[in-house]
A and B are shown apart, each in its own frame.
Chain A
Amino acid sequence: MNRDKQLPLTETTYYILLALVEPAHGYLIMQKVEELSEGSVKLAAGTLYGAIENLLKHQWIEAVKSEEKRRKTYVITEAGKAMLHLDAERMQHMLAITERLLQR
């Protein structure tokens, strides 16, 4: 299978991309990720900053106009959504196959 070498996404990356389906700035991303993961993924500032930089480099997210100069707002791009879909499909397959094999 010819798969993107960026896959699988890390848990952190996956949640950040999900959090950015709606535009958000850095601190809001932290809060959203914690909420989406039911408290299991808590991002620290230094880690999040590096992750945002990396996602921008891959062009999976982009900066959008923000009212506040000190807080930049980001949103997921089409390429970012495509990655989320690919990784979700990968996980769906894993889930299905796990259930089938463990039910025997």
Chain B
Amino acid sequence: MRKFKFFIDFDKEEKWLEEMAAQGYQLVKKSLGYKFRAAEPEQAIIKIDYRSFKRQEDFMEYCTLFEDSGWQHIAGSRGSGSQYFKKVGGDPHDDIFSDQLSRAGKYKRVSKMFKDLAICYMPVFIALMSTGALDASAMLDPQQLYLTEGLWEKSGADFWKSFLFETPFALFRGFIWLVFPVFIGVYLYCAHKANKLYDKQIQA
């Protein structure tokens, strides 16, 4: 079974995955969504760390360290960021962090990742803007987005047919550039949210 969900708060994500495990859904893969396998319902302890690795051997060393200390790596890859671990036996209060600073540290890394993404897109956006590839004037004069010859002279059913046919293309032409500012905005918001969670953890 696949589920699509988005979390910034790892505590909430861990809780949700534990609830899923209690209902008999075992996390097997995380890419765009979560992939579960039907299994025996269990009281699992699931913890998430956030790290990406440049080299495969570093990733292997990391997983081995967790496995040596009783945490099975259940999902996540070298460059995926989120790494999912399940406790093998032991105390239900066990955690993958033993102090508050390192526990909060993963939110710093998430925040940085979103900030880097936003910074990546900004020059692209500015370049498209300054070369005139993006044209915000369509906002004020949407008629210019329609390229059908003589469209505005037509009338009745003839007009509506041509008009409605072209509308999706016109919208695409006119507003596709909005993708850049919207995504930059979303990334900055996520970076801010993660940073707030970091502050909250530090003060806890």
Taking CB atoms, residues of chain A closer than 8 Å to B96 are 44-47
Is the CB–CB distance between A48 and B105 below 8 Å? Answer: no
Q: List residues of B whose CB falls within 8 A of some A CB.
A: 47, 49, 51, 57, 60-62, 64-66, 68-69, 71, 94-99, 102-103, 105-106
Find A43's partner among B66, B98, B105 (CB 8 Å cutoff).
B98
Is the CB–CB distance between B61 and A46 below 8 Å? Answer: no
Tell me the A13-48 residues at the B interface (CB within 8 Å): 26-27, 30, 42-48
Is the CB–CB distance between A49 and B98 below 8 Å? Answer: no
Known contacts A27-B69, A30-B69; decide if A47 and B98 are in contact (CB<8 Å): yes
Find B60's partner among A30, A50, A69 (CB 8 Å cutoff).
A69
Taking CB atoms, residues of chain B closer than 8 Å to A51 are 102
Interface hub of A12, A27, A30, A50 (most chain B Cβ within 10 A): A50
Is the CB–CB distance between A50 and B98 below 8 Å? Answer: no
Closest to B105 in A: A50
Known contacts A45-B69, A46-B102, A50-B105; decide if A26 and B97 are in contact (CB<8 Å): no
